[in-house]
Amino acid sequence: MSKVVLEQSHGGEDFSYDQDSTSSTDTEEYLDLADLNDFMDCNTAPFWQTDKQKVIESLIENCCDNTSFTEVCFSRGGLMNDALRKKVWPVIAQSNGILERSSSEKIKHHHYYNQVVLDVKRILKRFPPGINESIQADLQIKVTELIIGVLIANEGLHYYQGFHDIAITLLLVLGEEKSYSVLCQLSKSHFQLFMGPDMEPTMEILNLVYALVRNENHDLYNYLMRSELGTIFCLPWVITWFGHVLNDYDTVTRLFDVFIVSHPWTSMYLSAVVVLHRASDIFLTPCEMPLLHQMLSNVPDNLPFDTLLTETAKLMISYPPDVMEKTIREMHAEKIKEEDEERKRKMEQRKAILQGKQKKASVQRWTPWPGLRTFKSPTVKVFALSVSVATVAFIYNYVRPNLEIF
């Protein structure tokens, strides 16, 4: 299996693959050190953390399944640190161990290659602070390899902008080999809906956020609907698992603990909980789409996510995904109907305007005095028309009788 390394040109813009190169040892050492540094020392960590850490380690030793880890992932602190995540994520993702990687030639000639390279260039903010530029460049290489490799292994899936935010988080926590097998599995389960040929199914399923808000806070739902906000504001939350909108690495990985172990729609349930949690801020914002979109798009890093995840779990029990699926279809059908009616209304308006213009043009063609059509003032037009009528009457009554008719 050949390693694939992406080399950056001196200009900092172009990237190319070198089939004979190997990945940076510095980067591998960095990923290993990150795991060791994040592992909590039992002598310094608070009691609840050391106690929970022992529980997680016991579950790992006993090869427990997803059900056993679900409560741990949802509870305070999630899986605690990246050393434990490196052991647990492959288990709860139900990945199939080490998979064969694609060759550099396949990666380089993949039709999504150029788009992925461009997107990966923009993920510098996702890297932990303090790492040097060479390691950053090598991590970008590895993210590109990871994404294209997954797409090659799953030919029916399509890349979407935001998938690179998922990939970088998995790479930083798991390293190259494990992140590849885990992302391959998640792409077929949790992200399959988002990786179709178009985003229509994604936009339809986002109605779940509004359905949940309506069930919990009808006044808030009406306020958002009145603003015609739509669901674009929460699209990055859902398809990147909040990785694109949150700056704190620990918060992002803590959310991944929950999203990996639970239902694929969990990120949408959390999105609804975030909207409900910020209800007071929403009501203080004018009911205008641009202002509300701007406010909601900026997700504060200091939100109480442990509490919000607890509320998310309760919401999923109150409104299970299989029950909400019917509601989503009904909301989408209603939305399509409203859009069709609005489209017909606008067409009727345009038709009426066009007919009015045609009628006006017909009247203008039969105006006795051609110069009358150039006048814009209604008063002037009335005066000119009166003069025209008087002139015709004068000719008919006084001039015409005196004319000789041959």
pLDDT band at 401 (very low <50, low <70, confident <90, very high): low
Residue 216 and residue 189 share a domain: no
pLDDT digits (tens, 9 = 90+) for 243-277: 999 999 999 999 999 999 999 999 999 999 999 99
Residue 206 and residue 186 share a domain: no
The whole-number pLDDT of residue 163 equals: 97
pLDDT band at 205 (very low <50, low <70, confident <90, very high): very high
Higher confidence at residue 371 or residue 283?
A: 283
| Among 335, 360, 390, residue at a domain's last position | 335
pLDDT band at 49 (very low <50, low <70, confident <90, very high): confident
269-299 as b/e, with b when 16 or more CB fall inside 10 Å? bbbbbbbbebbeebeebebebeebbeebeeb
Over range 324-339, report the average pLDDT. Answer: 83
70-79, 104-113, 292-301, 378-387: segment of lowest average pLDDT: 378-387
The whole-number pLDDT of residue 22 equals: 37
Higher confidence at residue 398 or residue 218?
A: 218
The whole-number pLDDT of residue 225 equals: 96
Higher confidence at residue 253 or residue 358?
A: 253
Residue 237 and residue 273 share a domain: yes
Over range 380-390, report the average pLDDT. Answer: 62
| Among 335, 356, 388, residue at a domain's last position | 335
Give the separation between CA 70 and CA 273, rounded to whole angstroms: 19
Residue 404 has pLDDT above 80, yes or no: no
In a domain, 45, yes or no: no
- 111 CB contacts (<8 Å, ≥6 apart)? none
The whole-number pLDDT of residue 356 equals: 72
Residue 139 and residue 31 share a domain: yes
Q: What is the DSSP string of 94-130?
A: T--SS-PPPPHHHHHT-TTHHHHHHHHHT-GGGSPTT
pLDDT digits (tens, 9 = 90+) for 263-315: 999 999 999 999 999 999 999 999 999 999 999 999 998 999 999 999 999 99
Residue 3 has pLDDT above 70, yes or no: no
Residue 154 and residue 9 share a domain: yes
- Rounded to 5°, the CA angle 351-356-358 comes to 95
Q: Which among 186, 187, 167 has a CA at the least distance from the CA of 92?
A: 186
In a domain, 59, yes or no: no
pTM for the structure as a whole: 0.74
In a domain, 302, yes or no: yes
In a domain, 397, yes or no: yes
Which residue range is the domain that position 31 belongs to? 5-39+81-195
Residue 158 and residue 122 share a domain: yes
Residue 308 and residue 171 share a domain: no
Name the burial class of residue 141, with classes exposed (0-12), middle (13-18) and buried (19+) by CB atoms within 10 angstroms of its CB: buried
The whole-number pLDDT of residue 34 equals: 41
Give the separation between CA 99 and CA 79, rounded to whole angstroms: 25
Name beta bridge partners: 15: 8
In a domain, 401, yes or no: yes
Over range 334-349, report the average pLDDT. Answer: 79
The whole-number pLDDT of residue 42 equals: 40
Q: What is the DSSP string of 229-268?
A: --SGGGHHHHHTTTTTT---HHHHHHHHHHHHHS-TTHHH
Mean pLDDT, the chain, rounded, equals 81
Higher confidence at residue 304 or residue 13?
A: 304
In a domain, 347, yes or no: no
Residue 297 and residue 191 share a domain: no
pLDDT digits (tens, 9 = 90+) for 177-194: 899 999 999 999 999 999
In a domain, 350, yes or no: no
pLDDT band at 135 (very low <50, low <70, confident <90, very high): confident
The total number of structural domains in the chain stands at 3
The CATH number given to whatever domain includes residue 119 is 1.10.8.1310
- Rounded to 5°, the CA angle 308-310-314 comes to 110
Residue 329 has pLDDT above 70, yes or no: yes
The CATH number given to whatever domain includes residue 219 is 1.10.472.80
| Among 162, 195, 228, residue at a domain's last position | 195
Joined together, the tokens standing for residue 13 give 């813009």
Residue 380 has pLDDT above 50, yes or no: yes
pLDDT band at 390 (very low <50, low <70, confident <90, very high): low
